[in-house]
């Protein structure tokens, strides 16, 4: 990077969205510069560690042959936890054992660096350890960025902001309001080292096979959120995400919640004998479709977490980031051909996002975040009740099956009326329709 150099495109952030944008634009022949505040791409990034690969396959066919993959996921589970009890909802498919399958577990520090390097190979310039302090706006159009480097301002025809959920750049120019406590969650994660053979034995895996578990129930202590576990080659990613508003209300620290989660009698055996290699924390979008910010201004597009793109019901965010980064870059390529970077042309990005699975998925589940926040029993009372009911059903004692079933229904009605349960279950269906 040299002072006063003008680029076709500036990309802020070298995570999945930023790297996808830089790679797409560079392959089309655009002069691209990508800024990363960390020492290298991935050094400051954290999520649970699952990458659903079909979005990236569109950019880099057979990427798994060279990318730093941990394990090929063949099984996804949901555990409903209460006390010593656990109900396991599980699906395993051997069809997923061949790439791309359903996805992979990865380490962001390795994977993001590899992905950004692919953009560099295509011709993009990567500048690390650089904070983009603000967007440069002239006559209502974004024309560049101001950095903390000695050579200062950098100019371009267009800027793609992909700097994460807490995007100060877009907030400072009024593209989104201050987040409410229910709009974002805090995720904390530990990377726990265990021998490869131990992981495979505990999770019934072979070779490079992997598994994921999502935890719901008492581990979040009445707060809106959940836990996760992903198997890597010789480590386990274990973490929990809870909305900020609930943390402020209960005054529980996320690291305390994770520590108590590790002691859960069903989770503890999975990590027994392991030692913590790494601890990280991260903000996670929780607001859903109804609180999406602006994603287009003259000369500017917003992608990935900065646009709050995530399907929390599935834990799918990285794939949405990649797709949004690619579509943003494709829009800039078209704008370059027309020499027009106004919203009239850049609005093609919003149209493409509406046509893609990204916003369609978010629209489908747009009622889910609000319903969860307004109905805390969904993630707390229902998992416990499901465990109690299933435990009672399978318990064999001196009573007849009919007597046990009658007692279970009587206990259930004492806690919540069948009418209220029916309304809440109907609400779940409506929120996901």
**Across-strand partners of 104?**
51, 72
CA nearest 384: which of 396, 392, 374?
392
Say what the pLDDT of residue 299 is. 97
Q: Are 225 and 379 in contact (CB under 8 A)?
A: yes
- Considering Cα of 256, then 106, then 49, then 74, what sign does the dihedral take? negative
If 0-12 CB within 10 Å is exposed, 13-18 middle and 19+ buried, where does residue 324 land? buried
Q: How far is Cα 303 from Cα 335, in angstroms, rounded to an integer? A: 17
Say what the pLDDT of residue 428 is. 77
Say what the pLDDT of residue 168 is. 86
**Residue 374: HSE in the Cβ half-sphere, 13 Å Cα cutoff:** 10
How much of the chain, in percent, has pLDDT values that exceed 70? Answer: 96
Q: Are 255 and 298 in contact (CB under 8 A)?
A: no
Q: How far is Cα 287 from Cα 309, in angstroms, rounded to an integer? A: 9
Say what the pLDDT of residue 47 is. 55
Token representation of residue 364: 């489908």
Say what the pLDDT of residue 8 is. 98
pLDDT by 10s per residue, the chain, length 433: 555 579 999 999 999 999 999 999 999 999 999 999 988 887 766 555 788 888 899 999 999 999 999 999 999 999 999 999 999 999 999 899 888 888 999 988 899 999 999 999 999 999 999 999 999 999 999 999 999 787 789 999 999 999 988 788 998 898 877 777 777 888 899 999 999 999 999 999 999 999 999 999 999 998 988 999 999 999 999 999 998 999 999 999 999 999 999 999 999 999 999 999 988 888 887 777 777 889 999 999 999 988 888 766 666 678 889 999 999 999 999 999 999 999 999 999 999 998 988 888 888 877 777 777 778 788 888 899 899 889 988 888 888 888 888 888 888 888 888 888 888 888 877 777 6
Q: How far is Cα 196 from Cα 194, in angstroms, rounded to an integer? A: 6
In order of start, what are the domains of the chain with their CATH numbers? 6-68+107-177+291-355 (3.50.50.60), 184-285 (3.30.9.90), 369-431 (no CATH)
Q: Report the alpha-carbon angle 14-285-74, nearest 5.
A: 75
* Residue found under tokens 């954290």: 46
pTM for the complete prediction?
A: 0.90
Q: How far is Cα 388 from Cα 82, in angstroms, rounded to an integer? A: 9
Say what the pLDDT of residue 415 is. 86
- For the stretch 85-140, pLDDT in tens is 999 999 999 899 888 888 999 988 899 999 999 999 999 999 999 999 999 999 99
Collect all residues with Cβ–Cβ distance below 8 Å to 64 and sequence separation of at least 6: 53, 72, 99, 100, 104
**Helix, strand, or coil here: 240?**
strand
Token representation of residue 8: 């076709």
Q: Which ranges of 339-415 does DSSP label H, i.e. alpha helix?
A: 343-355, 357-364, 368-374, 381-394, 401-415
Q: How many residues does the chain have?
A: 433
């Amino acid at each position: 990077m040299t002072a006063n150099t003008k680029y076709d495109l500036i990309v802020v952030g070298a995570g999945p969205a930023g790297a996808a944008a830089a790679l797409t634009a560079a392959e089309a022949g655009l002069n691209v510069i990508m800024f990363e505040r960390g020492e290298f791409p991935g050094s400051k990034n954290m999520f649970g560690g699952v990458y659903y690969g079909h979005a990236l396959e569109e950019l880099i066919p057979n990427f798994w042959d060279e990318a730093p993959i941990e394990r090929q996921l063949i099984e996804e589970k949901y555990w409903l936890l209460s006390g010593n009890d656990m109900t396991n909802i599980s699906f395993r498919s051997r069809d997923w054992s061949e790439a791309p399958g359903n996805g992979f577990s990865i380490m962001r520090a390795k994977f993001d660096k590899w992905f950004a390097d692919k953009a560099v190979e295509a011709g993009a310039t990567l500048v690390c350890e650089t904070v983009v302090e603000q967007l440069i706006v002239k006559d209502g159009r974004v024309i560049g960025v101001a950095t903390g480097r000695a050579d200062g301002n950098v100019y371009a025809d267009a800027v793609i902001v992909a700097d994460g959920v807490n995007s100060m750049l877009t907030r400072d120019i009024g593209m989104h309001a201050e987040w409410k406590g229910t709009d974002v969650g805090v995720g904390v994660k530990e990377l726990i080292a265990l021998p490869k053979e131990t992981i495979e034995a505990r999770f019934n895996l072979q070779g490079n096979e992997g598994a994921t578990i999502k935890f719901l129930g008492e581990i979040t202590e009445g707060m809106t959120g959940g836990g996760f576990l992903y198997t890597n080659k010789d480590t386990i990613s274990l973490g929990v995400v809870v909305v900020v508003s609930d943390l402020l209300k209960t005054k529980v620290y996320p690291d305390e919640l994770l520590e108590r989660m590790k002691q859960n009698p069903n989770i503890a055996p999975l990590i027994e004998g392991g030692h913590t290699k790494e601890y990280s924390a991260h903000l996670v979008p929780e607001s859903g479709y109804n609180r999406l910010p602006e994603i287009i201004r003259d000369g500017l597009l917003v992608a990935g977490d900065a646009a709050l793109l995530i399907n929390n019901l599935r834990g799918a965010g990285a794939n949405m980031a990649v797709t949004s980064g690619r579509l943003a870059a494709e829009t800039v390529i078209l704008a370059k051909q027309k020499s027009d970077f106004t919203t009239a042309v850049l609005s093609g990005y919003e149209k493409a996002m509406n046509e893609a699975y990204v916003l369609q998925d978010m629209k489908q589940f747009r009622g889910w975040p609000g319903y969860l926040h307004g109905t805390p029993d969904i993630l707390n009372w229902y998992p416990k009740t499901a465990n109690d009911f299933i435990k009672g059903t399978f318990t064999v004692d001196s009573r007849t099956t009919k007597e046990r079933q009658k007692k279970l229904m009587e206990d259930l009605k004492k806690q919540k009326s069948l009418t209220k349960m029916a309304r809440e279950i109907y609400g779940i269906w409506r929120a996901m329709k």
